[in-house]
Amino acid sequence: MSRLLILAAFATLSFAAGHFTGSNVCKKCHPIIYREYSESMHKRSSIANDPVHRAIWEKHPLKAGEKYTCAVCHTPSDERVMNALAAGKPAMPEPDNVQTHEPISCAYCHRIKSIERHTKQNRNILNGKPKYYYAAKRGKTEKEVVKFHETSSFFGLSHSIEGSPFHTIDYSNELFNSGKNCLGCHDHKQNGKGFTICSLDLKERQNEKQNCITCHMPQVPGSYSTIVKSKTHAYHGFAGVHLRPELLADSILLAASEENGMLKVTIENRANHRLFSHPLRLGMLRIAIRRGGDTIQSDPVAFYTILGHDGKPAMPWMADTILKAHTIEAYETKTLETGMHLQKGDRVTVTLGYHIVNPNAAEKLGIEEKKASEFRVLKSQTFFF
């Protein structure tokens, strides 16, 4: 009996996460979603594809220890590395097929059954069935689990198809409606010293109307499959700081007003998380007043979190304190006195943007890609006085 139990436990350990169907298999029936995914940061999250991730890994002490623990979130479809980590063996990423083409694969994400909460970092629990995928219900079917079937009516004159000929779909997993399936990787992370180096600092207002999915995977034109057709589908490029930030602009409100002849600017964050939360990011607010033919620029206002150790800025694995921070928290409205005088007829342009990698950090880390440290716009708006 006990031996059976041990065997069963071992079987779950080795197969629970195993046998991910390649994302290129999904391409045949989900070509639009596959194309978007191919450009997404979930496809570029490995050292093979993300020069920023690679730069930090190159300096990380775990590299010398040959323990690529980053895999848990950055390349969890890589069974070779994941199994080596679990067995306490050297686990290093190779530029192979999985690392290059599907570090976080379609099948991995759609098999997340539940999330375990932990202080250090959360953990994804997957189902053990390679062709069993969870999806949101959104009124599509009354059934919880759908297997492929065809129904004909009007004496065989009309056919309708439900389900997929390749896989089972389970609509009963609440995580896929609320977006909580993202929180195994995205919620928070502590370093070896038990210090939280990264946190979205989520304010729990995840509901079906507004959550990670509705903001970062909005419905865009195009069918979600070639067999069962739809007008729109959930965007799989994942709108973010790298790709399509304009899709997120609606959740930031900018305003400019006058008080005693001076310009005041407000930023309202409608997201349920802190903005520019990754410690490499540098958010920037820029204000320009057009007056006649002249432009008057304000000093930019920066938003950042600088990690530290011994009173100096430190790499994430060394950090044990937040040295300095200026953040925009979930649902926060920030009002900034600009110290700029206003005149009638002024045109004020307020721009909230960011650098993916703080240019100072990019220089220190030797990240030469211009795209990583250039200024990008999240939202810009002009006000007339």
Residues from 315 through 344 that contact ligand HEC (CB under 6 A): none
Taking the C-alpha atoms of residue 69 and residue 62, their distance in angstroms, rounded to an integer, is: 8
Asked if 73 contacts 185 with a C-beta cutoff of 8 angstroms, the reply is yes
Query: Nearest approach, Cβ of 333 to ligand HEC (angstroms)?
Result: 14
Residues 188, 200: Cα–Cα separation, whole Å: 7
Q: Name the segment binding ligand HEC (CB under 6 A); options: 4-12, 236-244, 293-301, 331-339.
A: 236-244
Half-sphere exposure of 384 (CA within 13 A, CB side): 1
The vertex-129 CA angle with 224 and 104, nearest 5°, equals 55
Of 92-100, 180-188, 290-298, 318-326, the window that binds ligand HEC (rule: CB under 6 A) is 180-188
- Number of residues near ligand HEC (by CB under 6 A): 86
Task: Determine the Cα–Cα distance for residues 303 and 339; give it in Å rounded to an integer.
Answer: 18
Of 33 and 307, the one with the shorter C-beta distance to ligand HEC is 33
* Least CB distance to ligand HEC at residue 82 (A): 11
Return the number of the residue (41 or 323) whose C-beta is nearest ligand HEC.
Answer: 41
Name the amino acid, one letter, at 305: T
CA 194 vs. chain centroid, Å, equals 23
Residue 29 CB, shortest distance to ligand HEC, in Å, is 3
CA 60, 102, 135: angle at the middle one, nearest 5? 115
Using Cβ positions, the residue closest to ligand HEC within the complex turns out to be: 240
Nearer to ligand HEC, 73 or 319 (CB): 73
Which phi-psi region, left, alpha or beta, contains residue 156 (left: φ > 0; alpha: ψ -120 to 50)? Answer: left
Is 314 near ligand HEC (CB under 6 A)?
Answer: no
CA distance 31 to 26: 8
For residue 346, the minimal CB distance to ligand HEC (Å) is 28
Q: Mask: binding to ligand HEC, 264-303, rule CB under 6 A, as x and -?
A: ------xxxx-xxxx-xx----------------------
> Does residue 253 bind ligand HEC (CB under 6 A)?
no
What length is written for the chain?
A: 385
Site for ligand HEC in 119-158 (CB under 6 A): 121, 133, 135-136, 140
**169 counts as binding ligand HEC under rule CB under 6 A:** yes
Q: Which of residues 81, 98, 106, 348 is near ligand HEC by CB under 6 A?
A: 106
| Tokens linked to 94 | 């190779």
User: Is the CB of 272 or the CB of 338 nearer to ligand HEC?
Assistant: 272
Residue ranges in 39-78 that form contacts with ligand HEC under rule CB under 6 A: 41-42, 45, 50, 52-53, 56-57, 60, 62, 69-70, 72-74, 76
Sign (positive or negative) of CA dihedral 213, 215, 217, 219: positive
Q: What mask, x for binding ligand HEC by CB under 6 A, covers residues 181 to 220?
A: xx-xxx--x------------x-------xxxx-xxx---
| Choice between 111 and 342, CB closer to ligand HEC | 111
Token pair recorded at residue 30: 């989900």
How many angstroms separate the CA atoms of 191 and 179, rounded? 25
- The binder of ligand HEC chosen from 164, 298, 305, 373 (CB under 6 A): 164
Question: Using CA atoms, how far apart are residues 122 and 117, in angstroms rounded to an integer?
Answer: 5
Does the protein bind ligand HEC through residue 233 (CB under 6 A)?
yes
Separation of alpha carbons 239 and 344, rounded Å: 38
